[in-house]
């Protein structure tokens, strides 16, 4: 009991230091935590002064204690994470207080100060799980397009058998409707849905509608934010989408912001709720070189170009938001109905007697002090064939041992999010290349990589140093991701592909310079 009571006081000290709560709030938070842990009175002695950046060490100890007390099943990782949110929920500011503080800073010190406060709060509350994020494996891959960033995502552990069994026993639930809905704030969670007692959002107005800003709990880059609509309505790329993106970037000029596409295969993992993603980060795509420049007579104050990037992109730049929005709307309308059989692009096909659309756009916007608004419009097509049942412009099967998931917004911008299984598998392959492990054993352990392993052994041999072997595997994974992006591009950077790209731009009313 004494140990637990002291941990509670240390957590209160941390929360006061990071302005999660005030002095008067500490009384309420203390009693809430004492009740949660079944304690009758608080720690009576002194509390050692300490200054922690994050509360992870305190939470780990409290979670071990709670599991020992039977407050949750310690053998189920999802329940441990949920109980952690419950603990931190006791030391959080109210939602209205968070929103008011954000707006006060925005008005008095500027929007950067406001987002800095909010991001710091999400780290201090452990909503952004910095200890888990630090486990991710990251490296840069230099390539003919500039560079790509590779991440093996270790923040979301694979589900264990007990968790899977418990999920099967869960009754059907429709609240919250999805993980983005505003009703997630303060939600207690369940084994197959995360607890959100330490979750906070701030309200925004985009095009006279209520939206919200939050941060991703598993940030893939600096200040990885999610901007979501109040209404639970499906993803839809429309001319209004561009207006909303421009409204957001005008209010938050230090943030890139983009939208996943609104069709399966080429969209993100959540198609049920309209949202954008962004952050204070320079993505590799932003440094891509110009391929061809164009002018559009109807929009004289903007520049249009194609870029040397594996996923086909039309880039429009300028300071006139209205002209850029108009051009984006025209591109969307033209692309929705555009077909080019030579390039395997069909706008729609008939399925069960009704037309199925295949063309959409992934839009990405940021502000540059020299160029003004920089709008990247990425044409997408989700058609499947017998040869490519997962998608013509989707990672093909020979790449699936590395990545078979959709190429969404973040990947389009040049940041790979690869599955956690690759961490151990890449180590095993590197061990073969430096002669520490037999190739046969590696093939048996990871049969999906067998053909790839044979190619790597043929290319590098089995006498590399451990460092050389690790570097070689990282390079080869980077090359695979580069190929993934090339598969996703609707216009290949070949003579035929570039000619097809030019045909589309001509149909769009662009004139090559």
Report pLDDT digits (tens) over 234-285.
999 999 999 999 999 999 999 999 999 999 999 888 899 999 999 999 999 9
Q: Is the pLDDT of residue 158 over 80?
A: no
End-to-end CA distance of the chain: 76
From residue 442, alpha-carbon distances to 403, 419, 457, 461 in Å are 19, 18, 12, 15
pLDDT band at 11 (very low <50, low <70, confident <90, very high): very high
* Segment 146-154 mean pLDDT: 96
Whole-model pTM: value is 0.95
pLDDT per position as a tens digit, 441-473: 899 889 999 999 999 999 999 999 999 999 999
Q: What pLDDT does residue 164 have?
A: 67
What are 81-97's pLDDT values in tens digits?
999 999 999 999 999 99
Helix axes 321-336, 239-251, angle to 10 degrees: 150
Buried b / exposed e over 391-414, threshold 16 CB at 10 Å, is bbbbbbeebebbbeebbbbbbbbb
Which domain, by its residues, includes 430?
421-487
The candidate with the shortest Cα–Cα distance to 502, out of 352, 351, 346, 342, is 342
471: in domain = yes
Give domain status of residue 450, yes or no: yes
**Using an 8 Å Cβ cutoff, are 169 and 192 in contact?**
no
The pLDDT, as a whole number, for residue 37 is 98
- In the structure, what pLDDT confidence band is assigned to residue 160 with cuts at 50, 70 and 90? low
Say what angle helices 466-488 and 450-460 make with each other, to 10 degrees: 120
Nearest 5°: the CA angle 483, 490, 509 is 145
Q: What is the pLDDT of residues 96-111, one digit of tens each?
A: 999 999 999 999 999 9
**Quick check: is 425 in a domain?**
yes
Strand, coil or helix: what is 257? strand
Cα torsion 433, 438, 440, 442: sign:
negative
Q: How many separate domains does the chain show?
A: 1
Whether the bond into 162 is cis, omega within 30 of 0: no
Check whether 19 has a pLDDT greater than 90: yes
Identify any residues that bridge with 380 across adjacent strands, giving them in sequence order: 360
168 in a structural domain:
no
- Percent of the chain predicted with pLDDT > 70: 98
Q: What span, in angstroms and rounded, lies between the C-alpha atoms of 347 and 336?
A: 6
Asked if the model's pLDDT at residue 2 lies above 60, the reply is no
Tens-digit pLDDT profile for residues 412-430: 999 999 999 999 999 999 9
Q: How far apart are CA 399 and CA 408, in angstroms?
A: 16
**Which distant-in-sequence residues (6+ apart) come within 8 Å of 111 by Cβ?**
251, 252, 253, 254
Residue 463 lies in a domain: yes
Q: How many CA atoms lie within 13 A of 170 on its CB side?
A: 15
Q: In this predicted model, what pLDDT tens digit does every residue of 33-70 receive, in sequence order?
A: 999 999 999 999 999 999 999 999 999 999 999 999 99
The residue among 207, 205, 212, 261 whose CA lies nearest residue 394 is: 261
Q: Are 371 and 465 in contact (CB under 8 A)?
A: no
Structural domain contains residue 343:
no
Query: Is 319 inside a domain boundary?
Result: no
- Domain membership flag for residue 272: no
Mean pLDDT of the chain: 95
How far apart are alpha carbons 474 and 51 in whole angstroms?
Answer: 37
């Amino acid at each position: 009991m004494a140990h637990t009571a002291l941990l509670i006081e240390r957590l209160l000290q941390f929360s006061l230091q990071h302005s999660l709560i005030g002095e008067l709030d500490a009384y309420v938070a203390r009693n809430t935590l004492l009740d949660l842990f079944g304690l009758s009175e608080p720690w009576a002695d002194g509390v050692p002064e300490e200054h922690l950046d994050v509360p992870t060490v305190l939470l780990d100890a409290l979670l071990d204690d709670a599991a020992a007390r039977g407050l949750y099943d310690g053998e189920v990782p999802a329940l441990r994470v949920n109980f952690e949110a419950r603990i931190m929920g006791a030391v959080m500011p109210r939602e209205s207080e968070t929103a008011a503080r954000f707006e006060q800073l925005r008005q008095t010190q500027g929007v950067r100060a406001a987002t800095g406060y909010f991001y710091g709060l999400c780290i201090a509350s452990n909503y952004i799980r910095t200890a888990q994020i630090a486990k991710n494996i990251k490296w840069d891959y230099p390539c003919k397009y500039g560079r790509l960033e590779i991440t093996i995502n270790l923040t979301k552990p694979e589900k264990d058998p007990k968790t899977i069994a418990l999920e099967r026993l869960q009754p059907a639930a429709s609240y919250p409707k999805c993980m983005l809905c505003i009703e997630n704030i303060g939600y207690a969670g369940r084994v197959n849905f995360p607890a959100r007692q330490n979750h906070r959002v701030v309200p925004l107005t985009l095009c006279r509608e209520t939206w919200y800003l939050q941060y991703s709990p598993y940030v893939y880059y600096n200040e990885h934010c999610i901007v979501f609509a109040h209404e639970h309505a499906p993803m839809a790329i429309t001319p209004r989408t561009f207006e909303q993106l421009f409204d957001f970037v005008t209010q938050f000029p230090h943030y890139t912001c983009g939208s996943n596409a609104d069709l399966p295969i080429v969209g993100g993992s959540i198609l049920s709720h309209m949202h954008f993603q962004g952050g204070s980060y320079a993505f590799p795509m932003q440094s891509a070189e110009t391929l061809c420049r164009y002018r559009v007579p109807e929009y004289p104050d903007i520049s249009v170009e194609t870029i040397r990037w594996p996923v086909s992109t039309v880039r429009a730049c300028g300071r006139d938001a209205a002209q850029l929005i108009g051009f984006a709307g025209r591109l969307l309308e033209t692309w929705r109905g555009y077909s080019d059989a030579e390039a395997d692009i069909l706008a729609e096909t008939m399925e069960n007697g009704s037309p199925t659309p295949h063309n959409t756009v992934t839009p990405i916007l940021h502000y540059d002090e020299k160029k003004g608004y920089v709008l990247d419009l990425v044409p997408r097509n989700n058609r499947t064939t017998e040869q490519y049942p997962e998608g013509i412009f989707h990672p093909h099967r020979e790449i699936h041992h590395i990545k078979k998931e959709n190429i969404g917004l973040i990947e389009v911008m040049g940041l790979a999010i690869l599955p956690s299984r690759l961490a151990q598998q890449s180590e095993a392959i590197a061990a073969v290349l430096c002669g520490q492990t037999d190739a046969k054993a590696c093939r048996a352990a990871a049969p999906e990589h067998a053909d790839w392993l044979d190619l790597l052994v043929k290319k590098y041999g089995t006498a590399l140093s451990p460092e050389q072997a690790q570097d070689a595997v990282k390079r080869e994974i980077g090359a695979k991701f580069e190929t993934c992006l090339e598969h996703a591009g609707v216009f290949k950077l070949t003579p035929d592909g570039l000619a097809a790209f030019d045909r589309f731009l001509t149909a769009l009313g662009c004139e090559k310079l």
